[in-house]
Structure 1
């Protein structure tokens, strides 16, 4: 059930069955010369859209995230961690006003993690809502890269016409094999441009639409299982235990 497709009256009538809100978030940022700027929010939205759970309502996708570390690449849009955290928190607060106090954030972008965790702690500490950040790559058991074979595979499956496969080899050759850059134990790779000329990290040439389909199915199955887990638990049981 997609919240935004309802009228105000039909959503009010559906609330008796809704236990969990699902908020897809991602980013609009560079994904090398071969993938669209929409990759992260495209994937998060697809995972949430494929969830078919009677107790869940899917919220509109938040398509711009914390992407300052990609700022040197054209097309990247970004907001501060504080802005993103506040937007998510206040969105969840407004949903809680309607009685839906358990929310899963389906996250498609690693740069959002810190802000999501802070929003989750605040909402729980204030006993407003229980917010669970959920990252599709963890559910699919994949080591995160960027514009790599996994993200390339997902976009090939979801929107093949948006993939410029002719530039996948360039993305890989001018990219990095792992995230970040260190010198004598110190991290000096603050921005992606510090360690990847193309903006990619990983092996995009190994991407296939079949792998993308498998990754999507695995992620949706894990999300469905987690929504089951949340649905079965009273809200009060999800709150922090008092300090003793």
Structure 2
């Protein structure tokens, strides 16, 4: 699929004229324990988006820094406020809409971005600027992660994420550190006392920064995760490309 940033302004004019949908990968630059790179989240989103090959879809440059304040105690983590991230994503999509592409999938690789992405999407729709769909690459993979690892969903630097990094950037997995990552990992996300949430930062409940069991990861599992995520995104694009923009606007604005 065409990467918009590789076009010239002349060729971009024609490419955007033929596009129904754009993909905007978003992620984070943040700690993923001692075995995975800081780029884990944005590389996963970027790779899934980059595997899409459709004439009606164009890929935008990746936004590599997201809402990661809860990882701030771990070296290398970069973060912006939710408000800054929401505005940046929203204004990026709005600038694309000026060129006529008003349907976008926000291909996200970091759970901490989710609330801000939803707010940006709601605002764009309410203002009738664009229709943006927040989409996490792992959103529809519970059956597969249950088959592969015996658990639903995704932790942090766990078997699912580690397998995904094997698939998208194998040389960046520090295999000799996987055991240490797991030894200092939490079994689940967060910390509570009598039903009250008291673990606000990852450092409150994970010594290594990981949550889950990264030693259970494999290259084969990563390839299956990547393939399934790509299929899900392609199916979403089928649906979105077929929707008239006017039908996606709020009911009271029609």
User: Aligned partners of 1:15 and 1:199: how far apart in 2?
Assistant: 41
Structure 2: gaps (5+ residues): 146-152
Give 1:81's aligned residue. Answer: 82
Report deviation, 1:5: 1.1
Report deviation, 1:167: 1.1
| 1:162 and 2:163 are equivalent in the alignment | no
| 1:206 and 2:216 are equivalent in the alignment | yes
1:70-100 deviations in Å (ceiling 9; x for gaps): 0000000000000000000000000000000
User: Aligned partners of 2:51 and 2:45: how far apart in 1?
Assistant: 10
Report deviation, 1:140: 2.3
Give 1:55's aligned residue. Answer: 56
User: Aligned partners of 2:48 and 2:205: how far apart in 1?
Assistant: 30
Give 2:158's aligned residue. Answer: 148
Give 1:217's aligned residue. Answer: 227
User: Aligned partners of 1:139 and 1:5: how far apart in 2?
Assistant: 31
Give 1:189's aligned residue. Answer: 199
Report deviation, 1:202: 0.7
1:10-58 deviations in Å (ceiling 9; x for gaps): 1111233200010000000000010000000010000000011111100
Q: List aligned pairs for 1:34-45, cutoff 5 A.
A: 34-45=35-46
Q: How many residues align?
A: 243
Give 2:149's aligned residue. Answer: none
TM-score where L is the length of structure 1: 0.98
1:95-154 deviations in Å (ceiling 9; x for gaps): 000000000000000000010000001000000000100000113235120000011011
Pairwise CA RMSD of aligned residues? 1.0
User: Aligned partners of 1:76 and 1:227: how far apart in 2?
Assistant: 32
Structure 1: gaps (5+ residues): none
